Amino acid sequence: MYWEIEALLFVFLIITALISLYIKDLLAAVVTLSAFSFISALIYTVMGAIDVGFTEAVVGAGVTGIFFVVLIFQTSRRSGD
Amino acid sequence: MRKHKYNPIILMVSRVVSPFIMIFGLYVIFHGHYSPGGGFQGGTLLAAALLLIRLAAGFDIAQIQFKRILGTPLGSIGVLIYFGTGFLAMISGGEFLNYGFLPFAGFTEAGLRALGILMVEIGVGLAVMAILVAIYDDLLEGYPHD
């Protein structure tokens, strides 16, 4: 329908995916993964699947980010042994 | 998160924002029949509001709002509401989750179906909220609470 917006969103989607794959800092990887989820939610919304986009925005960009941040704070930078 | 007990600015912003997220979650649950959203999305929004307070104020203060032992029982109650609605329709002569057969007097057929959908959505929302908060609490297990 709005193919220009879709193309722009796909470009941003690939950029955020590559950043979250190749970045060293785990916290920054979580933030870019949340951005990836949010952009994919926008893509679902543009394509007309409002319900799926809503679920993706709430779960992917909200709760999953919190869980990942909590797990990262339990890890340590050096191994113990 | 480790050194500081809590940040007063973050705590204040979370305390202001969290009730609005809860209201929006309830709106999504109760308008699940005829608008996007439903039990799962609304329950996740309620859980996000609870998790925001847990993240900002720390585990111990957040116990005042939602106790840790409440997680599993509330999740079980939500699942029981879902299956109770289904079995209530089954006992009254219909199929499982056939809302038209719910034994409530004074409703039309369409009203019964809307009521049944609402009951199922409330059950799903309660279960999702409680289980997501329980997952967060279990992730923090073994970690010194601050």
Kindly state whether A67 is in contact with chain B, defined as any CB-CB distance less than 8 angstroms.
yes
Residue boundaries of the structural domains of chain B: 8-139
Quote the Cα angle for A10-A14-A15, to 5°: 115
Compute the distance between CA of residue B32 and CA of residue B128 in angstroms, rounded to an integer: 15
Quote the Cα angle for B111-B116-B120, to 5°: 150
pLDDT tens-digit readout, B73-84: 999 999 999 999
User: For chain A, what is the radius of gyration of the CA atoms?
Assistant: 15
Compute the distance between CA of residue A35 and CA of residue A62 in angstroms, rounded to an integer: 10
Kindly state whether B135 is in contact with chain A, defined as any CB-CB distance less than 8 angstroms.
yes
A70: nearest CB among B47, B48, B140: B140
A69 contacts in chain B (CB < 8 Å): 55
Closest residue of B to A69, CA-based? B55
pTM over 0.80: yes
List, as one string, the DSSP characters of chain B: --SSS--HHHHHHHHHHHHHHHHHHHHHHHTTTTSS--HHHHHHHHHHHHHHHHHHH-HHHHTTTS-GGGHHHHHHHHHHHHHHHHHHHHHTTS-TT-GGG---TT--HHHHHHHHHHHHHHHHHHHHHHHHHHHHHHHTTTSPP-
Distance spanning both ends of chain B, measured CA to CA? 8
Q: Pick the closest to residue A32 from A7, A65, A59 (CA basis).
A: A65
Quote the Cα angle for B20-B23-B29, to 5°: 145
User: CB B139 to CB A55 under 8 A?
Assistant: no
pLDDT at residue A19 greater than cutoff 90: yes
User: CB A67 to CB B45 under 8 A?
Assistant: no
pLDDT for res B143: 62
Evaluate whether A67 touches A48 at the Cβ level (below 8 Å).
Answer: no
B48: nearest CB among A62, A69, A70: A62
Kindly state whether A74 is in contact with chain B, defined as any CB-CB distance less than 8 angstroms.
yes
B134 contacts in chain A (CB < 8 Å): none
ipTM given for this complex: 0.82
Evaluate whether B48 touches B21 at the Cβ level (below 8 Å).
Answer: yes
Kindly state whether B55 is in contact with chain A, defined as any CB-CB distance less than 8 angstroms.
yes
Closest residue of A to B39, CA-based? A55
Mean pLDDT score of chain A, rounded to an integer? 89
pLDDT at residue B1 greater than cutoff 60: no
Both tokens of B8, joined, read 């007063």
Q: Pick the closest to residue A66 from B125, B45, B75 (CA basis).
A: B45
User: CB A62 to CB B41 under 8 A?
Assistant: no
Per-window interface: A 13-52 vs B, CB < 8 A: 50-51
Closest residue of A to B132, CA-based? A63
Q: Report the range out of A8-12, A46-50, B139-143 with the highest average pLDDT.
A: A8-12
**Helix, coil or strand: residue A29:** helix
Q: How far is A48 from chain B (nearest CA, A)?
A: 11
Compute the distance between CA of residue B25 and CA of residue A54 in angstroms, rounded to an integer: 12
Mean pLDDT on A20-33: 92
